[in-house]
Amino acid sequence: MKVTLAQLNPTVGDIQGNLAKIEKTLSECSKDSPDLVIFPELFLVGYPPRDLLERPSFITRTEAAIEELLKISQNFGQRGIIVGAPQPSQQPTGKGLHNSALLISQGGLLFTHHKSLLPTYDVFDEPRYFEPGIEDSVVKFKDSILGISVCEDAWNDPALWPRRTYHHDPIEAMAKRGAKLIINIAASPFHRGKERLRYDIVRSHARKHRIPFVFVNQVGANDELIFDGRSICVDGSGDPIAVFPPFQEHIQTISLDKAEVPTSYEPQEEIESVYQALVLGVKDYMGKCSFKTAILGLSGGIDSAVTCCIAAEALGSENVVAVTMPGPYSSPGSVEDSKKLAVNLGIKFETVPISPVYEAYIKSLRPQLKGREVDITEENIQARIRGNILMALSNKFGHLVLSTGNKSELAVGYCTLYGDMSGGLSVISDVPKTMVYELAAYINRQSPIIPQEIINKAPTAELKENQTDQDTLPPYEMLDQVLHYYLDEQYSMEDILRLGFDPDAVSWVIRAVDRNEYKRRQGPPGLKVTSRAFGTGRRMPIAAKFES
């Protein structure tokens, strides 16, 4: 059997656009005469469609598109098409929808598999929309028997998890029913290190059941989620026959009947994968939201420098505007370093001093602030002036504002609401500070794009005399470790203290994380690149009292 894997980038809600991609792919791969052409999970509507699924008109349009696809299939002989789409459940109770894989050929719907394992962890909330399938059947197609599954259906292999999330393993059930080829269509989001985990899952199923396994993953970015693709086909021994490139569309036809030469598999180097994910995240967020140009503040620090480099790579230098906004405490070096970076990138560079605005602001507030000591209030005013300047330029010229705060700062609230948190997309909000330095090194791997002065200088907000981040925060190396254990591993304070960290520092970090939930709730969406990001995958109460 010859199968074509279509690793493509859908747009959520663009049913007709996604259908056009399917038809174009079917035509382009005709030269290879495949028996099957396989598209990712929910490809027809894009993933994740979220509450669009609750609109009856959306489901009606989806059903109409499936009818169109049935007609289109008549133009391609006996070729089978596997595609993901929501399907009405035909039951009088429940959610009324399934997350389904459809097998279409010659104008007919030959088989439907309803996803039986519906994830509820991290960014997933599929039981909000779907009913689980109750049968893991197989289907005879041409000279083979296919076990068709959808994403999470493959994620309950008892060999890989010390504690299983679900009671049954759909892949095992399909193998017992005589499947000769397992197919998994997926929309599996990226995070650092996940690629290797997916490969281990696919290989484990193939080896356990001695059945070839085809995994077709979505690529592209939708809102916070980034999909790396990295589709793969392995033989019955678990050896890879084809490994698709990450972060790009790719279509390839593979012959499963011939003795394909096994290919090698090496996971992508992690910091390279994070960089490419962020570039794709910015590119797709901008394009799918119909923005052509971006604007950001360049402070002379490493966070804004890395964000600027990502934006220039994603959008092209001609579509990025950087603004330096020196204030009463800005060093001349910060302005010069920002200018050097802008020249290196070939982006437009603007200077808008904030000192006159700041002085007018303080003068206006003098009667109300009389008798009060200068404190963080005056610092935040500077940050908010800068945010307002960027938003003004955004409104006037149609730029999208990119905010530049990192995950470490966002975690402990070292950021200003309506100031440096202003923006339409927070590019590195899931990147810990220590990883920001890794990204800078990756960006400079061939030539010094980011000036070394930016990398070497002590991090500072420059909102008061001789200020550095470490005046307020623990050293970033320690802070990021504590945040990892508290946020990613969900350790308690007692658990973290057993690891030998300073008790006062751990207590401060945890209190800061907990009391700044209200800030994070008001921030722009951020691109997810770690296993646990702020945003849709983390649902913490704001008005609450609890022990950490």
CB 534 within 8 A of CB 426: no
Cβ neighbours of residue 208 closer than 8 Å, sequence gap 6 or more: 157, 159, 172, 175
Q: What's the alpha-carbon Rg for the chain, to the nearest Å?
A: 26
3-state secondary structure 291-325: CCCEEEECCCCHHHHHHHHHHHHHHCHHHEEEEEC
Catalytic annotation present for 348: no
Cβ neighbours of residue 429 closer than 8 Å, sequence gap 6 or more: 403, 405, 406, 407, 410, 523, 526, 527, 533, 534
Cβ neighbours of residue 426 closer than 8 Å, sequence gap 6 or more: 402, 403, 405, 410, 523, 524, 525, 526, 527
Q: Which residue has the tokens 């484990």?
A: 204
Task: Indicate which residue of 21, 29, 41, 409 is catalytic.
Answer: 41
| 112, containing H or E segment | strand 108-114
* Antiparallel, parallel or unpaired: β 97-105 and 108-114: antiparallel
Catalytic annotation present for 41: yes
CB 287 within 8 A of CB 262: no
Cβ neighbours of residue 414 closer than 8 Å, sequence gap 6 or more: 408, 469, 472, 473
Catalytic annotation present for 457: no
Cβ neighbours of residue 529 closer than 8 Å, sequence gap 6 or more: 190, 191, 192, 226, 274, 277, 278, 430, 431
- Concatenated DSSP letters of 228-267: EB--EEE-TTS-EEEEPPBTS-EEEEEESSS-PPPPP--P
Tokens of 543: 């008005």
Task: Indicate which residue of 29, 151, 308, 415 is catalytic.
Answer: 151
From CA 242, how far away is CA 39, in angstroms rounded?
Answer: 16
CB 324 within 8 A of CB 335: yes
Task: Indicate which residue of 21, 29, 115, 378 is catalytic.
Answer: 115
| 509, containing H or E segment | helix 503-515
* Antiparallel, parallel or unpaired: β 232-234 and 240-243: antiparallel
Beta-bridge partners for 100: 85, 114
* Antiparallel, parallel or unpaired: β 425-426 and 97-105: unpaired
No. of helices (H) and no. of strands (E), the chain: 16, 19
Cβ neighbours of residue 395 closer than 8 Å, sequence gap 6 or more: none
Q: How many CA within 13 A on the CB side of residue 463? A: 23
Distances (CA, A) of 137 to 86, 185, 236, 509, 511: 18, 16, 20, 50, 51
**What residues are labeled active site?**
41, 115, 151
